[in-house]
Amino acid sequence: MKHRIVVLGAGYAGAFAAGNLARRLSPADTEITVVNAVPDFVERMRLHQLAIGQDLTFRKLADVFAGTGVRLRLGRVTGVDPERRSVAVTGEDGDGELTYDTLLYALGSSVAHHGVPGVAEYAFDVTGRSSALRLRERLAGLGEGGTVLVVGEGLTGIETATEFAESRPDLSVALAARGELGAWLSPKARRHLRQAFDRLGVTVHEHTGIEAVEPTRAIAADGRSIPADVTVWSAGFAVHPIAAASGLEVAETGQIVVDGTMRSVSHPDVYAAGDSAYAIGENGRPLPMSCASAGYTNMQATAAIIARLTGSEVPTTGLKYHGNHISLGRRDAIFQMVDGDVRSKSWYLGGKVAARLKSGVLKTAGWGIAHPTFGMPKRRRRLATAPDPAGVRVAA
């Protein structure tokens, strides 16, 4: 029997990982299946562009994995049983079950409501394509002078507010920040950010927590009412409770606790990557949920899986956060480097050059997903014939 590898999720982490595994492992020994709820690869970092009405092209996963040997199962994961090594899936073809020898869990994250009243009922978000399209439809029907409030001063909130203001100058766009806008940036980068907000006409409500969302307004912690025909909630991310319900060891966040190789500390045949993984970086802190973290963790996870299955030494990938690329519309951006303690360095890059750099990062990521067999070795590695000492069965 072939060694069955199942990858849950085909976002930045899962899609890269599946292509890498197919590229480096022999199809004579392995069977790779990817489970994803939608048929396309969704560039999550560009969903705020989709929401404001820009036309984006989504790649079909069937085309992405064509010729790689990767099997695509369209469906939504409803449960994981790590004791039976099985995954429950439901989709257009009905309910089913997949069994695995090695599981890579990369289901990502969704918007975190934090229990704030009205968010689930009235707020919009850009964490998924369906939610971005719902927001797109609402914004398209919003006339001149309509009010949009973006809640959250993180990267998603900043990019969303500036993109909306640039693309729709007829709207009144505001951002609610619990603290100071761009507080983590270097002084010069923070000044650049504020100038961009001023140039685009984005109103900033600093030190303003939102405690309720209503159809046409948001209520701040101090009792103020902020007009909002549309409230966009970008105040953090949350993972699906499937991992916690499965019996895998998880952190308080619900993320799967992994060792330095992205292997579950409770179930050695399960790996996690992307937002689903509670991974500790080189600075001793958990990696933030981000595309950059998805890159580091999926590279480490696939390298570890391949090494253990082929009887090789497990390499380690540096889990170091290097900085932030922040789009400020299509023609402006900030590239802020950070040190080992994730403190902003004094140097930063801003303006059109930074915008071109961010565009290049997005295009490179998309190209890498679309070409999973690029650089494929002439001979892919065969599985080892001896069992892995840590407990993973590497050969039938």
Cβ atoms of 52 and 159 within 8 Å: the answer is: no
- Return the closest-CA partner of residue 205 out of 177, 182, 229, 184: 177
Partners of residue 87 on adjacent β-strands: 80, 98
Q: Which pLDDT score, from 0 to 100, does residue 284 have?
A: 87
Q: Is 357 a domain residue? A: no
Q: Is 340 a domain residue? A: no
152-179: burial string, b at 16+ Cβ within 10 Å, e else:
bbbbbbbbbbbbbbbbbeebbbbbbbbe
Check whether residue 97 and residue 243 sit in a common domain: yes
- Return the closest-CA partner of residue 295 out of 30, 45, 125, 102: 45
Check whether residue 45 and residue 191 sit in a common domain: no
The reported pTM is 0.91
Cβ atoms of 221 and 210 within 8 Å: the answer is: yes
Beta strands in 71-209 (DSSP E): 71-74, 76-81, 86-91, 94-99, 102-105, 110-111, 147-151, 172-176, 203-205
Domain total in the chain: 2
Q: Which helix (H) or strand (E) segment is 30 a member of?
A: strand 30-36
* Domain-ending residue, one of 177, 204, 233: 233
Q: Is 396 a domain residue? A: no
Check whether residue 138 and residue 77 sit in a common domain: no
Check whether residue 198 and residue 227 sit in a common domain: yes
Tally of helices (H runs) and strands (E runs) in the chain: 10, 24
Nearest-angstrom CA–CA distance, 69 and 6: 13
Q: Is 189 a domain residue? A: yes
pLDDT digit of tens for each residue in the chain (396 aa)? 899 999 999 999 999 999 999 999 999 999 999 999 999 999 999 999 999 999 998 899 999 999 999 999 999 999 999 999 999 999 877 789 999 999 999 999 999 999 999 999 999 999 999 999 999 999 999 999 999 999 999 999 999 999 999 999 999 999 999 999 999 999 999 999 999 999 999 999 999 999 999 999 999 999 999 999 999 999 999 999 999 999 999 999 999 999 999 999 999 999 999 999 999 988 888 988 888 788 889 999 999 999 999 999 998 877 777 778 899 999 999 998 887 667 788 889 999 999 998 898 888 888 777 777 665 565 677 887 544 444 444 433
Range of the domain at 57: 3-109+239-321+363-370
Nearest-angstrom CA–CA distance, 370 and 41: 9
Q: Is 88 a domain residue? A: yes
In a 13 Å sphere around the CA of 160, the CA atoms on its Cβ side amount to 31
Q: Is 39 a domain residue? A: yes
Check whether residue 122 and residue 224 sit in a common domain: yes
Cβ atoms of 158 and 326 within 8 Å: the answer is: yes
107-141: burial string, b at 16+ Cβ within 10 Å, e else:
bbbebbbeebebbeebbbbbbbbebbeebbebbee
Nearest-angstrom CA–CA distance, 126 and 133: 9
Cβ atoms of 381 and 24 within 8 Å: the answer is: yes
User: Tokens at residue 245, please?
Assistant: 């319900």
Q: Is 206 a domain residue? A: yes
Check whether residue 77 and residue 156 sit in a common domain: no
User: Tokens at residue 294, please?
Assistant: 């998805």
Check whether residue 103 and residue 138 sit in a common domain: no
Nearest-angstrom CA–CA distance, 105 and 122: 31
Check whether residue 52 and residue 139 sit in a common domain: no
Q: In whole angstroms, what separates CA 363 from the centre of its chain?
A: 16
DSSP conformational letter for 285 = S
Q: Which helix (H) or strand (E) segment is 263 a member of?
A: none
Q: Is 317 a domain residue? A: yes
